[in-house]
Structure 1
Amino acid sequence: MATATSNFRPSRSTLLHGAFALNTTLALSFVYVLVTGANIGAIRYAIYGVIWVAVGLWVLFDVDVPPTSTKTKRRAALVAVGYFALLAVAGGILTTAIPGGDTGLRVAFLPPGWGPALIYAGSFVNVILMPARLVGYVALAYLVYDTVIEASGAAVSGIVGLLSCVSCSWPVLASIATSVFGSGTALALTATSLSYDLSTLVFVVTVALLRWRPGFR
């Protein structure tokens, strides 16, 4: 495994990890559709789901966090958990329940990458665990964890290093931007139809910037 680096040229191990992540995602998607009979739907959205899972797995396979003190690990873990929680709320993993709505646990067989989705509807909060979002957000949080640890050994503190990484906020802003418009308008319809395109693009770009961190010292 390799640590994050400012060098944009991927190593041989990075490429191998990427190929393994993609092959694993495709194999799991094939088995999922074959066993459940889930509808693939629009191929565009299925591809996006595969991209989220494959890129997320690649990060988890490839990034090796450098050794550091227990204190730094705890601080980095706290920041990463907070960042994941923010993504979970902004990205729809956690939502406010509708008063008087049905409650319970169910599985939704969505297109590959997005399904199978475990959905819990509670009295106060809903939890929607889609593989793409869950794996993707865990990967981003892991990269933030690695970023804080790397920054703690640099000339700046871990927190300052994280805040200087503007790209960390992109997935949050993209999620909010596609949900703030009122329904029933042309702008709302456009935002909804492009939300998967926008979120996928921002996710991939953010992973690339956090993985290689250009200009980071």
Structure 2
Amino acid sequence: MSTRTLEFRPGSEEWWLASLLAAELLALVAYFGLTDAGITGPRYVLYPLVWITVGVWAVLRTSPPVANERARWVAGGVAAGYVLVLAFLTGLLAIYLSSGAGGSHGHSHVHGLQVTMTSPGWGPRISYVSHAFHVYFVPFRVIGYLALGYLVYATLLDATRVALSGVVGIATCLSCAFPLVASALGGLGGAAVMGGLAPYSLDISTAAFLVAVGLLTWRPGHRGGHSAP
């Protein structure tokens, strides 16, 4: 059994993670110490930081394998589509098809650019709303979904490298398919598709995110935790 020695030298994976954890702790102390905000539920404070930490950790330890330019473009396109689907499913992006001149999309949002300072991970929350669309930037969601997109990109490149054909590799890659479904279900839970699960929507989406990262980082049949060339 191989072992790995922790090395906290500047620029190492452990150094970056330690720096991130220190920054998150300082941000929490500063926010709750300098504002009148209170902690109503510890998990609502901690879960966003779990998303950010796990997402950054997974990206740091994953290196896409060497592949030709066509494979990189295809994998990049699929990964970008993956992230966009999650953004639409969870409401970070929306397009109002019924919008028009003098029309209304039925939402009572304040139009324009807004910046809201909230608990670290939830904020700073940036939103832009128009009559035709809205875009929300929620740090932990955006960082988490971008991390998943990067892991999907690396996984697809690895599938095309080890399989006889790229199509077969992608089609038989359970670790590519399940995380998309799991993350989508987590996002749909956040939209309270099932009213009875609404109080646990953040728990569901966090569990789905962790499962997705776990499967994409330690892929079935993949040797080792790193996607090495």
C-alpha contact (below 8 Å) 1:118/1:130 kept by paired residues: yes
Question: Partner of 2:162: helix, strand, or coil?
Answer: coil
TM-score normalized by the length of structure 2: 0.76
Query: Does residue 211 of the first structure (1) align with residue 223 of the second (2)?
Result: no
1:20-70 per-position Cα deviation (integer Å, ceiling 9, x unaligned) = 443343344444555666554422101101101111121232222222211
2:184 matched residue in structure 1: 172
Q: Bigger shift: 168-177 or 75-84?
A: 168-177
- d(CA) in 2 for partners of 1:60, 1:132: 14
Distance change in 2, residues 1:15/1:204 (3 Å): farther
Q: Return the index of the structure with the highest Cα Rg.
A: 2
C-alpha contact (below 8 Å) 2:75/2:153 kept by paired residues: yes
Which amino acid letter does the alignment assign opposite residue 56 of structure 2?
A: L
Which of 175, 189, 206 pairs up with 1:200? 206
C-alpha contact (below 8 Å) 1:29/1:112 kept by paired residues: yes
- d(CA) in 1 for partners of 2:127, 2:38: 18
TM-score normalized by the length of structure 1: 0.80
1:142 matched residue in structure 2: 150
Identity %: 32
Aligned pairs for 1:29-40 within 5 A: 29-33=28-32, 39-40=38-39
- d(CA) in 2 for partners of 1:44, 1:52: 12
C-alpha contact (below 8 Å) 1:38/1:109 kept by paired residues: no
Which amino acid letter does the alignment assign opposite residue 148 of structure 2?
A: L
1:129-178 per-position Cα deviation (integer Å, ceiling 9, x unaligned) = 10000000000000000001111111244444344323222101222245
1:184 matched residue in structure 2: none
- d(CA) in 1 for partners of 2:124, 2:143: 13
Query: Does residue 111 of the first structure (1) align with residue 123 of the second (2)?
Result: no
Number of aligned residue pairs: give it.
205
Query: Does residue 154 of the first structure (1) align with residue 162 of the second (2)?
Result: yes
Query: Which consecutive residues of structure 1, in runs of 5 or more, have no partner in the other structure?
Result: 1-6, 182-186
RMSD: 2.9
